[in-house]
Structures are given as structure tokens and as C-alpha cells.
Structure 1
Amino acid sequence: DEKGLSQWEGDPGIDFGGVISNSPIHHGFDYYFGVSASLDMAPYVFVRNDRFTALPKQQQPAVKFPHFVRKGPRADDFVIADVLDRLTEEAIAFIDDAAERDAPFLLYVPLTGPHKPTQPHERFRGKTSLGEYGDFVHQVDSTVGRILAALDANQVAENTVVIYTSDNGSYMFRYDDPQRTDHVDDDAIQGFRSDRHRANGPFRGTKADIYEAGHHVPFFVRWPKKLEPGRVCDSTICLTDVYASLAELFGADLAENEAEDSCSFLPMLDDPSHVRPAAVVHHSVNGSFAIRDGQWKLILTSGSGGREQPAGKPFDGQVQLYDMASDSGESTNLAEDHPEVVERLTKQLEDFRQSGRSVRRK
């Protein structure tokens, strides 16, 4: 079958020998190498530009957590534990080529780890005292180090801006009992935390929740030519701010209908006390919204909006208000104590919704 093994549960079939009509090269990228989804999702085959690199001719069986993968088609050359290495090698080759041509470049490397499947390469197993997940995080550290070393080796590190961050907080647990409602503090049902790895630190909730653990992530910027290392900025930004920041960095003007939720964070690189001029809006997996402005975070649902129980429903008539300056763990709901703040932030969020943007261009 020259189309490859294209059938799996719930899928009508894909022509793996055909052209992909909606790949990153159709959205502004000149070149792409990677996978089609999260590494636990089929099909298990690499994509280069607008084509699959091989025909998946075998069936990957489902694997349980924490090595979790879903059933689906897999190519012979696709080995889960080798994917991080393959992506790293491709990234380094891209840097080498750009440096040889003395060409400016944008390299976006969305790593497949330490997201599940938790399958560290054999050479990293047992390297930490934090179990498989700790070993996997160690492998990710090594991966980033290799990419940074490639910048150094090509003598382009000095004026290359490196941003290292995450798209969400850690999942950090597994459900052993769906009736258990507290999966944040009970180590007995924490698949990742049982090995003394508390990925979300002191924050409430988990990935997909509206609480801090779902959204509060590290954000590192390295730019040797401009930035003194070791500086810390506690101001709130949003990942949407990368767009406006790069536009300012390159001197590109943004239209009024462009990057509607993006503020440049470049002023914070010069002055860590600088405050984002617009409120930040974010939402959970079930569509519950929060808006944060200064010390205040208003959540427009009665629950987590995600995995922590009770989840609540979006705009269910109840709200939560937290003073993030004194209560980053979101333990005390101050909505009844500060109705004026609730009213102001609720109106602000509605104004954003009506206008279709949270940031105005001057």
C-alpha cells in the first residue's frame, strides 16, 4: 500500500504519500521539520515542509501512563525516545547553515519533552534522583544546551536573542481515582510529584486550570550583546507579547488589526520594574476566563475551569478575586470584600470582548 497504514480508530484514512496542504510553510515559515501533533498522538511519522518523510507501515500499540502514547500508524524510523535527539540535530543543522551563509534567522523549536510520553533516552536513565520524569527533564536541559552550544560554535551567540519558555503549566499528576477531588496536595495520586518533583511549585491547580499552575511559567531571555545575565523581572507578561516584542526589535510597524492582544516586553529588558500597560486575559480548557490587572486576578467561574474539582462552568454567575501580590496560591477569595474591583475588571473584560482586542495601538 503506497499510501501507508492509514486507518486507526475514528479516522477515515490519510494519504501519507500526498502533499500536506496546511503545514507551517503555509503560515509564514520557509522550512519545517517536526511532528504533526503532540508526541503522544498519531500518526508517528516526521514531517518535512509539506510532506511526510516516510510511510507508516506498522501499528503503534497504546501505552499506559507515564509512557503514554495513543494507538495509531507509525513509520519504521520513528522511535519515541529518539525524537528529541532528531529535533536537536535538525535545529543545529539549521543554525550551521544560517551561520555559514551569514544570514539572519528565526528558529522556533517546540520541544516534545518533558510533555508525555515520559520516555527519556537510555543514556539519561538513572541520571537524576527524581525518577523517569526527572531524567526526562535532564534530557530537555541537555537538548537546550546543545542548541546554545551550536550558537557559540558558530560565533553567532552574542547577537542572537534566545527565548526559553513553556506554553502552559505542568500536568504533573495522573488520575488513579476519578472520585478524588484534590489532586494537588495528595502525593498518593501524583504520578510525577511522587518522585519529589513538584513541577508547579506552590501554585494552585494544574495544566488546563484557570489557576496559576495552569498559566504561570518561566520565561528566560538571553541576549549577550544587550542584556546583563542574572536580572529578574517580576512583571506579568503573556506569550502573545512575543509578537509585538519581535516587531519592535526589528522595527516593524503593526497595523491596528494586528497582534490585538500583544504588548512589547522590550521595555522590561531595560527596566525590570516596567509594568505591562494592558490587562492580561487568559482562559482554561473549558472556556472559563480570567483577567488580571496589577495585583488583582478576577476569575469568572466558580471553579478551576479545568481538572481540579469543582471545575465550574464558564460565566456561571460566580466569581473569584485574588490579590496576587499577597496570595499567589489563590487561597482566599476576596470578591465579596472588593465588589468595586470585581465590577471594574468584569467591565474591562467585556470591553475587550466587544472590541475584539485587549491592546490598542497608538
Structure 2
Amino acid sequence: MRLKRITIALFIVLLMVSCKSSSVKEATKQHTNFVIIYTDDLGYGDLSCYGAQGYSTPNLDKMASEGMRFTDFSVSSSICSPSRAGLLTGRYAERWGYKDGVFWPYSKDGMPASEVTIAEILKEKGYETGMVGKWHLGHKTEFAPTSQGFNMYYGIPFSNDMWQDPEMPLADTVVFNEGLSLEDFKTKNPKKKFRNKVPLVEGNEVIEWPVDQALLTKKYTKKAIQFIEDNKREPFFLYFAHSMPHIPLYVSKTFKGKTERGLFGDVIEEIDWSVGEILKTLKTNGLAENTLVIFASDNGPWISKQPNAGTAGGLRDGKFSPYEGGSRVPCIVWQPGFVPQGVVSNQQTSTLDILPTIANLVDKDLPNNRVIDGIDITPTLTGKLQNIKREYFLYRGNNAIRVGNWKYVKTKKEEQLFNLLTDKEETKNLIEAHPEKAEFLKSKLKSLLASL
């Protein structure tokens, strides 16, 4: 009799576990989750699958072999803040009044809360939204992630070479490191004294200052995994923005001194490890087939910071510039069963396209009271159509425009025309051979700037 009761109890437990597992699987089939992994200053040539040498990125290479790798993917600006704005809103930052430069710890402004972000679109569809990592769109509460559609935020509010804002709210349990104190944090002019000593924020409060940057990638990864596991039964959106490889470079002891490339290579290998942990978490929790993961960078490499900077992989120039090395970055998209395996796409795509594509995938109308500069690239992601045409693409500084494969650049010294189909390195100025093409692009740029 006792054996019978034990058998029945065991059967009930197994049935409950089975039902729970089944209910989780059924729930996850009903929606698509989204994970965007965004690095900082990672160049077009800085992954193994894009030609990097001196270190390896096996997890990202595998992600590419299991998904789609893009060769013509660009960001909306070759500098940090407007690039991140373009990613999250699908719009050029100039449309909400951005001029140039980035936001600083002393900045009083940021991206307006009136801008509609991916997080806000998905939140309206019942998604749990979380952001881990570097924000850099204004650190004041009214501009922070929690005011832009994110329920959870954990990270540093600006670049890792900056400092604290003495007016930032502090958590009751704030931890001060390196022998520093509350008095140090409240210093009125901290720029010179505390450069590279940035705060770690959770929600809207500083929880640690200065954060140990050698541990940032691991801390971010742990928090990102926690967010996924906490929300695995509900639709979720995770925006995971690494602080690296923006200089100054930091890496944990686990990865320090591991590559021939030095500190830069060590940092990239730790980022690659982090990506692997995220993908492993999705697979372990049965979320891989209904989670679209996008990996990219905010702009090209900060070339002047060699040897602690990356490479544009043969493209011209890097961060800050209107040339391809500044805006064309690595991009890998992954979702087993939705994104075809091992495809290399030459389709011209952009971070501007991510918002309209996600909106389409969750059947959400785009805001009709503003211009959205991106286009829906769902047919490209599914491998059904690789020839989606866009009307134009603009570059940082508003002195360069691309239409199709033709690109016009106006510098202080000259006007330039390039055919990116045959010369993505931008070495041959074709303006004398095609003056009519240059004039067309110049005129179009002028009219677009007037509309911006």
C-alpha cells in the first residue's frame, strides 16, 4: 500500500513537471522575444567572421553560421549618442533637435521622452522590457531608460571614459570603491579628478561608484541572464549595450593576457564569451526558436586610440567620420527556424530598420505623427527577399548621402563621389566621370537637410 502511494505521488509530480514544461513551451510559441546586443566602437573588421586576427570570436562566428551575417549594415551616425537614438527610434536624431556631439555627465538634456522607442512599442504589446549596459541618451531621470519604455535598467549612463554627475541620486545601499567617499562623489568639478571613474546605476539610482570596470562585462552578462530567466514565461525585450571596446579598455582576470592582439583582443574575447552565455541561456530555457537576437556596434573604431582600438576591416576611416569605416559595422541576426542558417546578406540595411521590423513582427502600427527613417526588412531576415530598396541614407555631419550604391561626400576641401558596389573602400573619386550623378545627390542632400 505504501509503495502504491509513493508511486502515485511520483506520478503526480512528474505530471506536474510535464505540464509546467509544456505550458512554458506553449506560451513561448505565441510570441517573439527580442534581444539586441550593441557594442561600443567595434569596427567592421573586429570579429573573426569579418576577418579579425590575433584573437578569436567562436561564439559570434557560430551565431553567424546559425543565422545571417550582414556585409552592408550601417548605423545612423558614426558617434555614440545619435547612433543609439537611431537604433531605438528608427529616426535620425536630427529630427528631434540633435546637433552634434554626445551627452556628458554635465549635460542637462537628452533624447526627449516624446520619442517613441522600441521598448515603448513592445511595452504596449505586453512585453517586459529591460536594458543592461551603456545608455548615453541623457542621464537625468526624465531622459533615462526608465522614462523611455524600459521597466528595468542596470548599467552606466554614459561612456566609460567619463565621470560622475554629483547631482545623481544615490541608493541607500550605495557602495563607494577605491577609498572614495560621498564627499568625493559630490565634488563640484569632477571632470579632471575622476575621469574614467563612472557610476553603476540600477533603476535611477547610483548603486556603486566608481564601478570596477574590469568586472563590467561579467556583471552585465549576469544581469542580462537574470532578466531572461525571470521573464522566460512572458514576452520580453532585452537591450544589452556593452561599454566595451570603447577606451579605456578593461577586462576580467579570466580573459586578461589571453590573446596575441593584447588588451583589445582580450576585451573582444570576453564580449564573445558574453554573447555565448546569452545564446546558451536562450537555448537552455527553450527560448531560442522564438527569440530574435541582433548583434551590432554603435559605430566604427576609434582609430586614433591604437593599439587599444579596432579596425574598420579595410574600409575608409572610422568613428566620427562620414566614410564607411565610421558607419558600416558588423551585424549578425539569429533566430533558429526563422532566420535561415549560414546566409551572408549584401542587402543595404541599418539600425534605423530595427524598429519598423520589430513593429511588423509584433503586428504593431508605427507612430503616424512622425517620420520613421527606417524600413521593414523582415523579408531580408527570412531570406525571402534580398533586394529591398531604400530612398536614401545619411551620414554623420550631414555632409554625405547614399542612394543605391552611389555616395556623395562633401569635405572642406572637395566634393567626392563613390560607387560602393565596386569601391566600398572609397578610394576612387568618380565625380569628374559622373558629374550629373554628383549633382543629383548634392541636390537631394540639400532638400533632405531642409526637411530635417
Shorter-chain TM-score range: 0.7 to 0.9
Give the one of 174, 183, 187 matched to 1:54: 174
SS in 1 for 2:418: strand
Out of 281, 284, 289, the position equivalent to 1:150 is 281
- Pick closer, same or farther for the CA change 1:97–1:295 going to 2, 3 Å: same
Unaligned stretches of 5+ in structure 1? 1-9, 14-18, 175-189, 303-311, 313-317, 357-362
Taking the TM superposition and a 5 Å limit, the aligned residue runs for 1:281-292 are 281-283=394-396, 287-292=397-402
1:245 and 1:266 in contact (8 A); partners too: yes
Structure holding more strand per residue: 2
Q: Deviations over 1:90-133 (max 9, x none)?
A: 1000000111xx10000000011122121111110122111111
Q: 1:210 aligns with which of 292, 298, 322?
A: 322
- Kept in 2, the 8 Å contact 1:40–1:117? The answer is yes
Shift of 1:72: 7.0
Residue 20, structure 1, aligned to residue 141, structure 2? yes
**Alignment partner of 1:333 out of 411, 429, 434:** 429
Query: Aligned-pair RMSD on alpha carbons?
Result: 3.1
Q: Which residue of 2 aligns with 1:274?
A: 387
CA deviation string 1:196-218 (max 9, x = no partner):
xx621111112111111101101
Larger deviation, residues 220-229 vs 252-261: 252-261
Cα distance in structure 2, aligned partners of 1:259 and 1:141: 36
The aligned residue for residue 229 of structure 1 is 341
Do the aligned residues in 2 keep the contact of 1:237 with 1:276 (CA within 8 Å)?
Answer: no
Contact map agreement 2:156 2:198 (CA 8 A) in 1: no
Question: Which deviations, in whole Å up to 9, do the C-alpha atoms of 1:53-99 show, x marking residues without a partner?
Answer: 72654459999xxxx95367794572110111111111000000111
**Within 2, Cα distance between the matches of 1:227 and 1:205?**
32
Tell me which of 119, 123, 134 is aligned to 2:265: 134
The number of aligned residues is: 299
- Label 1:354 to 1:229 Cα distance change in 2 as closer, same or farther (>3 A): same
Question: CA distance change for structure 1 residues 156 and 350 in 2, over 3 Å: closer, same or farther?
Answer: same
Query: Quick one: distance in 2 between partners of 1:44 and 1:141?
Result: 31
- Give the conservation status (yes or no) of the 8 Å contact 2:357–2:377: yes
Letter in 2 for 1:263: I
Report the alpha carbon displacement of residue 172 of structure 1 after superposing the two structures with TM.
Answer: 3.4
Hey, what does 2:244 align to over in structure 1? 113
Equivalent in the alignment of 1:220: 332
Query: 1: distance between equivalents of 2:278 and 2:314?
Result: 30
**2:265 and 2:296 mapped to 1: Cα distance?**
18
Cα drift, residue 44 of structure 1: 9.2
Q: Which has the higher contact order (CA 8 A, sep 6+)?
A: 2
Alignment TM-score, normalising by the size of structure 2: 0.60
Query: In the TM superposition, what are the counterparts of 1:65-214 in structure 2 within 5 Å?
Result: 70=196, 75=208, 78-99=211-232, 102-174=233-305, 190-192=306-308, 199-214=311-326
Give the Cα separation in 2 of the matches to 1:168 and 1:320. Answer: 22
Amino acid corresponding to residue 85 of structure 1 in structure 2: K
2:318 touches 2:325 (CA, 8 Å); kept in 1? Answer: yes
Q: Distance between the aligned counterparts of 2:141 and 2:392, measured in 1?
A: 38
Partner residue of 2:374 out of 255, 262, 268: 262
User: Could you say what secondary structure the match of 2:247 adopts?
Assistant: coil
Contact 1:36 1:43 in 2 (8 A): no
Task: Look up the SS of the partner of 1:41 in the other structure.
Answer: coil
**Paired residue secondary structure (1:227):** coil
Q: Partner amino acid for 2:219?
A: R
1:237, 1:280 within 8 Å by CA — same for their partners in 2? no
Letter in 2 for 1:352: L
Contact 1:291–1:297 (CA<8 Å) still a contact in 2?
yes
Residue 16 (structure 2) aligns with: none
Give the whole-Å Cα distance in 1 for the aligned partners of 2:340 and 2:248. 36
Are the equivalent residues in 1 in contact too, given 2:160–2:243 (CA < 8 A)? yes
Question: Is the Cα–Cα contact under 8 Å of residues 168 and 216 in structure 1 kept in the other structure?
Answer: yes
Secondary structure of the 1:40 match is coil
Shift of 1:351: 2.8
Corresponding residue SS for 1:161 = strand
Give the Cα separation in 1 of the matches to 2:239 and 2:197: 28
Please state if 1:238 is matched with 2:350. Answer: yes
Task: Identify the structure with the greater helix proportion.
Answer: 2
TM norm structure 1: 0.74
DSSP-derived class of the 1:327 partner: coil
How far off is 1:326 after superposition?
1.2
Aligned twin of 2:70: none
What is the DSSP-based 3-state SS (H/G/I as helix, E as strand, rest coil) of the residue aligned with 2:295?
strand
- Superposed displacement of residue 272, structure 1: 5.2
1:296 maps to 406
Q: Structure 1 vs Structure 2: percent identity of aligned residues?
A: 32
Aligned AA (2:440): R
| CA distance in 2 between partners of 1:246 and 1:339 (Å) | 39
SS in 1 for 2:394: strand
- For the 8 Å contact 2:377–2:388, the answer to whether it is kept is no
